[in-house]
Structure 1
Amino acid sequence: MTQDTLGRIVATEPGDGHIRVASLLGTQTLTLRELYRRSGRVARWLTGQGVRPGDRIGILAANSLEWVLLDLAALRLKAETAGFEPGKFAPTGDLIRRYGIRLLFTDRPAEAPGAVPIGEVTEVSQRADLDGVPLRPVTWGPKDVTTVKFTSGSTGEPKGLGATAGSIDSSLRAVQQIFEHGPGDDLFVFLPLSLLQQRYWIYSALLHGHDVTVSTYEAAFAALRRVRPTVVMGVPAFYETAKRQIEARMRRAGDGQTVGQAARAVFGDRIRYLWTGSAPAASSMLRFFTEAGLPIYEGYGLNETCIVTKNHPKAHRDGSVGQVLPGKEVLIGEDGVVSVRSEHPVNDHYAYCRPGDSERVFGPDGTVRTGDLGYLDEDGFLFIRGRADDVIVLDNGKKVIVRPIEEDMKADPAIAECVLFCPGQTELVAVVSPAAEPADEKAIAARLALTNAVRAADERIGRAIVADPPFSIDNGLLTSQYKPKRGRILDVYHDAVHDPEEGIHAV
């Protein structure tokens, strides 16, 4: 039984600590004890609506207190949740039927039978008349599925994956062992709660008595200044944006402000460390924050594996994504592809996918083939070189790993993202997303020349196409975790990539 985590969460009233939920309108604060009491009321109300152990509720909404209450209520009933990302899914009858949803809570207009406005949860959570009936005790076993999570997906329909209680327990214990979160900490999360890992930090608060702040991405920077967290959980694109804000503050202040002072003006004055993962982080960005006095630690994991490796204060190495966590084993194949074996796997198959998808990723024993190229050094630090799918083979047989070249381009402040293609297998063409509008084409041309200057002939970029508008989630060129969608980008810029006259040409 997973009594160390989910068992304690569902059965034990938490100790000290608070949850703050931030929006552009302000910040709402509850004690963790009040959060627990309210989640119990929601659980009793769900029971009255016919929700039973093993049933599934869906949540299609932006981050909110109601999201958190529904998730905790489901845990206390041993019901599954399915977190749907707004913008990627619509609250329709087809969605409810496809995923076997008993009730779908949403902040979007919906008329489908079974769709419930998520705002109703606020009133339910405050109903004292729901306090009287005790909840039936539940037990989460290691292989019990708590939630269905969906891959961010660069192409096609997202794959659904049932996450087991044992995998959550294992990850939370491993992270707590190295970071020792506790009273005095406030963990700040802003990515969608439909991404299971974001909910880990709420579970951690309930277990270890620290504060947690939940925000939306839109409100994140305003909320940071208000709540002054000690830990921020963010993807590299968020920190790149923060880096530009800090640099802009310094330019406005002239010589009157150090980088550390400017960084604290953005993040507050209590930062213990910054956490990043989900996508490759530029070494220049990591170095910037560490030198500013805000140490930042990169890690590695997938939906299919949970957290696998992590740099942390007691063990970190530049260029790596950290050492392997307890309960995980990293295997490097003859082709250099990373596979991961877990003591408590997330699962051994997808719950929703196309035929053959599960077999391509999961081995018979649950080992996950990540598709990433990497190696382990002599001290067990994992280094990721790129995606196996992103190796370009030129017409002369030369294999080019694109990630290091793309990272060289992204090191320039004028460039937010860079994706390489190879039309006709003869020359590399970059599609560059500018960091600001209008694009600084002079700076992009200079970075193109600088990148090419240190590369062998086959690894030099012939042209750079400047994306207009820049890549974003809204225009479908970035995933919800701010990773470029290579296939979609090529679709949009196909003609320019294949036209030898287009773009900024290398000199």
Structure 2
Amino acid sequence: MNAENLIGFENIPQTIPHFCIESFRRNSKPDALAYKLGDTWHKISGTEAIERVKRIALGLSKLGVRAGDRIAIISENRPEWSLVDLAILSLRAVNVPIYTTQAVEQIRFILENSGAKMLCVSGKKLFKHAEEAIRSVEQLERLIFFEKDAIPENDRRAISIDDVEEHGENSELTSFEDELASVTKDDLATIIYTSGTTGEPKGVMLTHNNFVSNIVAISNGLPIKNSDRSLAVLPLSHIFERTVFYVLCANGVSINYCASFDQIGTHLHEVRPTIMTAVPRLFEQVYHKIVKKGKSAGGWKTRLFNWALEVGQDYWLAKDTHGSISPVLAAKHAFASRLVFSKWRDGVGGSLRFFVSGGAPLSKKLSYAFWAAGIPVLQGYGMTEACVASANRSEDNKVGSIGIPFEGIEMKIADSDGEILIRGANVMKGYFQNPEDTARVIDAEGFYHTGDVGYVDKDGHFYVTDRLKDLFKLSNGKYVAPLQVESLLKQSPLVSQTVVVGSGRKQVGALIVPDWEALKEVLKDEKIDATGTREELCENPQVIKRIQRDAVELTRELSDYERVKRVYLLPREFSIDKGEMTPTLKIKRGVIDEKYGEAIDEICGS
């Protein structure tokens, strides 16, 4: 172990609760965890966090939780999520997280398939959403509510987390140390159900060692300080944020919870994070908001803004490709940084050292814009079955790549089809009660087959081009990687969502859900009639032509067969409720192809 914050951790049991509790104890921070209630931020010290984990663990034990029992959690980000998680793991029990966006049928499936003994629910809203599934699952012995006023009157199984802690407080705290001492690195820590784009979710089994090996590897690879502050925005039910929580907690970082994307703006200003994780969707929204504000300023301010954007792209292109930066370009960038980009930095709190981005590729244009503004974005790569496998480093970043593997993790490209393969202590134990699917994705040599297609450059940086199953072939035999084309289209401020289509057709097209507010402003500025309903605007030839212009321009540097020739506009966003997206907001391409088959034929040719 080389990470400064983890010195001595090699001498303690290699489990998640041992690492987190030792960090809470060692760093003894007054703001180890923090959350906002109403207008006030509340802090939980490292000492208090340890005591609460102990009380919750002993309370759960009194309620009958034993080693190997599965305890499910459905909640937005809040301290209770993490404290209960650590308590569950301290008992050698297994945490089964459920996305707050999961459909009722999937919630029922996860609870039944995992054999969950208890379920933790945050409050009334989520209970109401999941109630039908909860009431139909007979094996649930207890419902534990984080908010006392959410407890239903007619359910004897219901109890509040406060009551659980009270049960624990009356236990001998020495027994907690006995429970904790029994946890081993090979124990199962969690079953996370993948939000697959086809079929039923599969339960990914991850051990303590899967996570701890990742904690150590990432801590050795990224410059994390125990003086850092983070803002937990992505759902803790997702492997990315869950892993990052463990990494930051072990390193003594102060963790501030953000319950929803709506709160990000105010939380950034109040917390002033120094390190943070995000997904491309967030960067796209922030970028489009900044561009909209800059271009609406008018006069010399808009000209200065546009000039700064161009300078930033030129400057970071030269940096990224190791080209020469002339004294004139360097001076222009310094000027743009002081007058324009300083406001960008203030917008994310003014103290950010770096973002780590995951989940999908971020376009080069957006990456260059943020790097040029002094907001480093390190693209990473991972998945539920292999935690976090790789990332760029501050001192070794290549925009567009997913970086290099973390210590102890092997990655390679399959000779047969270009698939990215991963081997290491981070790779899952297997799929829960599903040896057939496990054998399909983990080969005899121990390599996990990711399903992603990519390549590796001469410097060892890996690149993802698309999902193997998402590649489609045009009628002329040419293959298209839709993910890359979609990342280009999302650079347009007029595009909210897009799906690139054309499988088996003559040409590539795009289904686009416009950003209606931005679109109407542009139509007004360009003297195009913007009256009518969304449905009417979607059929307006001038409106279609205007968005198509952006699509053609943004894809013009691709090969001719990959370029978007025509677009089809949709009035409403793709959604989980309509079965078009997974709980992690991945597009179900098969559903889209079937649902919008006639529209696809219209723009792509049958």
- Normalised to the residue count of structure 1, the TM-score between the two structures is 0.90
1:499 alignment partner, SS class: helix
Moved more, 408-417 or 66-75: 408-417
Measured in 2, the distance between the counterparts of 1:423 and 1:182 equals 48
Matched, 1:288 2:303: no
Measured in 2, the distance between the counterparts of 1:64 and 1:144 equals 26
Could you tell me which of 117, 122, 146 is aligned with 2:145?
117
Q: Which runs of 5+ in 1 are unaligned?
A: 503-507
Where does residue 505 of structure 1 map in the other structure? none
Q: Deviations over 1:206-254 (max 9, x none)?
A: 4222201121233222211211111121111011112123334434656
Could you tell me which of 168, 177, 196 is aligned with 2:211?
168
Identify, as 1 or 2, the structure richer in helix: 2
Measured in 2, the distance between the counterparts of 1:314 and 1:164 equals 32
Measured in 1, the distance between the counterparts of 2:604 and 2:450 equals 37
Change (3 A) 1:11 1:465: same
Moved more, 433-442 or 216-225: 433-442
Could you tell me which of 451, 468, 484 is aligned with 1:404?
484
Measured in 1, the distance between the counterparts of 2:59 and 2:515 equals 47
Could you tell me which of 393, 408, 416 is aligned with 1:327?
408
Instruction: Give the C-alpha shift of residue 311 in structure 1.
Output: 0.6
Q: How do 1:306-455 and structure 2 match up within 5 A? A: 306-351=387-432, 356-422=436-502, 424-437=504-517, 439=519, 441=543, 442-451=545-554, 453-455=556-558
1:432 alignment partner, SS class: strand
Could you tell me which of 485, 492, 497 is aligned with 2:588?
485
Where does residue 279 of structure 2 map in the other structure? 235
Q: Deviations over 1:363-409 (max 9, x none)?
A: 13431111211111111100112222222222232223333333332
Measured in 2, the distance between the counterparts of 1:76 and 1:143 equals 13
Instruction: Give the C-alpha shift of residue 13 in structure 1.
Output: 4.9
Could you tell me which of 129, 133, 136 is aligned with 2:173?
133
Matched, 1:16 2:28: yes
Q: Deviations over 1:56-78 (max 9, x none)?
A: 11111222222122101112212
Instruction: Give the C-alpha shift of residue 317 in structure 1.
Output: 1.2
Aligned-pair Cα RMSD in Å: 2.9
Instruction: Give the C-alpha shift of residue 294 in structure 1.
Output: 0.8
Instruction: Give the C-alpha shift of residue 438 in structure 1.
Output: 6.8
Change (3 A) 1:397 1:34: same
Instruction: Give the C-alpha shift of residue 443 in structure 1.
Output: 4.2
- Normalised to the residue count of structure 2, the TM-score between the two structures is 0.76
Could you tell me which of 173, 176, 200 is aligned with 1:157?
200
Could you tell me which of 93, 112, 129 is aligned with 1:97?
112
2:394 alignment partner, SS class: coil
Measured in 1, the distance between the counterparts of 2:460 and 2:295 equals 41
Could you tell me which of 287, 291, 299 is aligned with 1:247?
291
Instruction: Give the C-alpha shift of residue 130 in structure 1.
Output: 3.7
1:105 alignment partner, SS class: strand
Change (3 A) 1:480 1:90: closer
Kept in 1, the 8 Å contact 2:56–2:168? The answer is: no
Moved more, 288-297 or 469-478: 469-478
Q: Which runs of 5+ in 2 are unaligned?
A: 1-9, 148-159, 306-338, 521-542
Kept in 2, the 8 Å contact 1:24–1:222? The answer is: no
1:230 partner amino acid:
T
Moved more, 91-100 or 267-276: 91-100
2:367 partner amino acid:
L
Paired residues, number: 501
Change (3 A) 1:457 1:282: closer
Matched, 1:72 2:175: no
Instruction: Give the C-alpha shift of residue 127 in structure 1.
Output: 7.4
Change (3 A) 1:463 1:223: same
Moved more, 322-331 or 191-200: 191-200
1:153 alignment partner, SS class: coil
2:44 partner amino acid:
L
Q: Deviations over 1:405-461 (max 9, x none)?
A: 333322222223332222543222211232344746454221233245434443333
